[in-house]
Amino acid sequence: MALFEGLSSKLENIIKNIRGKSRVSESDIKQISREIKMALLEADVNYKVVKDFIKSISEKSMGSDVLESLTPGQQVVKIVNEEMITLLGGTFEDLAIAPKKPTVYLMCGLQGTGKTTTCGKLANMLRKKGKKVMMAACDVYRPAAIEQLCTIGRQLDIPVYSEDSGKAIKIAENAVKIAKKDDFDILIIDTAGRLHIDENMMKELIQIKASLNPLETLLVVDAMTGQDAVNAAKAFNESMDISGIILTKLDGDTRGGAALSVKSVTGKSIKFACTGEKMNDIEVFHPERMASRILGMGDVLSLIEKAQENVDIEKAREMEKKLMTASFTLDDFLDQMEQVKNMGPLENILGMMPGVNSAQLKGLKIDERQIARTKAIIQSMTAKERITPKILDASRRKRIAAGSGNSIQSVNKLLKDFDNMKKMFKGLKGRKSKSLKGMGFPF
């Protein structure tokens, strides 16, 4: 599912109707203001936030410099975009780093928000940036919470400090000592969540914060819960003064209310967004880029960053040469497919591309199991068959289908698609698209 699919689709249509207008009247401004207001309220955005947002758009759009300009429609769109960026937080705020190791980040949130998994995602992201990271398992209440974090740590090859004392503050304090001793750059503390906010929960968190003095206190909230997430953020912030927010499940059936309300309600910025279940599915929250996505303008910068992070540039250049000289093999095809898959859910990747709107993505279900089936088919071939698929006669195709657990028709379709792709790139030789240059893709 594309991010903010429902809201984005409505706002795109509103903007499309106003963008090209050579003349815009006050009644036009009132009309689009009403439409934007309804779209935001339906997306579960806080009512006061919507009221202030619409008031600001209306006042700025009613000015003579807009109504009497040569491109009034575009001026209104510019205003909407700027106000959306402000609503989402204005400017990106990176995590603070302490001058003396370790930098401690305290993670908190309600149970079920994906807090423990988010600890792993954040640790993985920071490790990729060259930081030496450790996590501490301080959720002593939820069954298997400590083991869950330890399992994530083993999967990522990131150390996790845990002990059987049953005392969260003691575990956290001992983790800091170990992190100092072993010269870790970052220590991420996973704390206990509850099904609802209660006095004991807040008391323990306040005590841990007072003891550790973390540089960042990050609240993990579930974007799918809408205004409940905003209310939780407000309560946590009032009790323990959080420094930032991480939104999870942004790829789910979310209407966008939490993302568009939380900064205005709490005064604290969204620092990261989780957009999938894998450990790589976390991204820095850039308000201007997210506004661009919501308004259907794409997000090329984030797409380029994802490509640069997950696609081997040297391999991509090598494959580019192979494609243009028709020496691209099925092994190369599988390798490139895996690299693109590592960039995250394909619907989200498509949603970042300019010109791809929500209407086109609506209902689009990219079956990622097809990638697994394709992989099984290719891996059921011999090395010679992958290099020279022309030798795949009927008997060989039958063997490959049986070996991969697929039908002969699936094998035939893969080979046909692969052949068509090679022909297409052969025809593109010498006239590659400049729009994708530098993104790490071999096309």
pLDDT tens-digit map of 136-149: 999 998 878 899 99
Q: Is the pLDDT of residue 311 over 70?
A: no
The two structure tokens encoding residue 194? 């509850």
H or E segment at 272?
strand 270-274
CATH architecture, range 5-87 = Up-down Bundle (1.20)
* Beta-bridge mates of residue 381: none
At 428, the pLDDT band (50, 70, 90 cuts) reads: low
What is the spatial distance between Cα 300 and Cα 289, in angstroms, rounded to a whole number? 9
φ and ψ at residue 81, rounded to 5 degrees: -60, -45
Work out the mean pLDDT of the chain and round it to a whole number. Answer: 81
Nearest Cα neighbor of 218 from 189, 196, 239 is: 189
* Beta-bridge mates of residue 136: 161, 189
pLDDT tens-digit map of 47-65: 888 999 999 988 888 876 6
Question: Between 275 and 341, where is the model more confident?
Answer: 275
pLDDT at 91: 81
pLDDT at 288: 84
What is the spatial distance between Cα 67 and Cα 408, in angstroms, rounded to a whole number? 63
Q: Is the pLDDT of residue 307 over 60?
A: no
The two structure tokens encoding residue 22? 């050579």
**Where are the chain's structural domains?**
5-87, 103-297, 312-436
pLDDT tens-digit map of 149-193: 999 999 999 999 999 888 899 999 999 999 999 999 999 999 988
Per-residue pLDDT, averaged over 288-311, amounts to 64
Q: Is the pLDDT of residue 433 over 80?
A: no
pLDDT at 213: 92
Return the residue matching tokens 């072993």. Answer: 182
From residue 279, alpha-carbon distances to 115, 131, 283, 342 in Å are: 13, 16, 11, 10
Q: Is the pLDDT of residue 2 over 80?
A: no
Q: Who's near 226: CB < 8 A, 6+ residues apart?
A: 44, 254, 255, 257, 258
pLDDT at 442: 36
pLDDT at 437: 41
pLDDT at 439: 37
pLDDT at 1: 43
Topology of the domain covering 312-436: 434 Repressor (Amino-terminal Domain) (1.10.260)
The two structure tokens encoding residue 178? 């170990």
The two structure tokens encoding residue 300? 């090329």
What is the spatial distance between Cα 91 and Cα 288, in angstroms, rounded to a whole number? 7
Give the pTM.
Answer: 0.67
Nearest Cα neighbor of 184 from 124, 132, 128, 119 is: 132
Going by the DSSP 8-state scheme, the letter that residue 4 receives in this structure is T
Return the residue matching tokens 């903007």. Answer: 15
Return the residue matching tokens 């009309």. Answer: 31
CATH class, 103-297 region: alpha beta
pLDDT tens-digit map of 317-372: 666 666 666 677 888 777 777 766 666 655 555 555 554 444 444 544 555 677 78
HSE value, Cβ hemisphere, 13 Å, CA-based, for 409: 0
Please give the biggest Cα pair distance in the chain: 75
pLDDT at 243: 94
